[in-house]
Structure 1
Amino acid sequence: MLMKERYEIRIHGLLGPLLRSTFDGLACETLPCQSTIRGRLSEDELYRLLDRLNQSGVELVYLDTA
C-alpha cells in the first residue's frame, strides 16, 4: 500500500477549469491572486502534479504537508 500524505499547494493566479479537471479527487480553492490545491497524494502523484503545473507555466508559491 502506498502512503499518501496530505498536501497543500498554492500557485500564483487562477486555475482554469481544464487544468482543475485534471486534479481528480483534490480540492481546489480560489483565493485573491492565488489558487490552492489540497488533498492526499503519494510521492509519485505529487511529482506528476508538480510536473503538470510546471508544464502549464504555473508559478508555485507554496508547498507543504497539511
Structure 2
Amino acid sequence: MDHTTAEKIHTAVSRIFEAINETLFIVNNSGDTAVRKTVQKIVGTAIADLDLEVLEPIYKQFPDLRPSDMEEVR
C-alpha cells in the first residue's frame, strides 16, 4: 500500500468512527436497554476490528499517520 492510499483509508475510517459515535449517542439516549446493549456489542466489535485489522497495520507501515495520543498496539 502506498502512503496516499493509507491516508485515504485512515480518513475514511475516522469518518466511520464519527458515525459510530453519533449512533452510540442516539442509542444510549433512546431508553431501550435491549437495543442499547445489542448496538454497543456490535459497535464494540466493529471498532476493535477496524482499529486492529485496518488501522494498526497502516500505522506500523506509516507511523506518521498514527495520532500522537495513540499508543502502538503490541
Query: TM-score, normalization: structure 1?
Result: 0.36
Q: Which has the higher strand share?
A: 1
Max radius of gyration: which structure? 2
Q: Which has the higher helix share?
A: 2
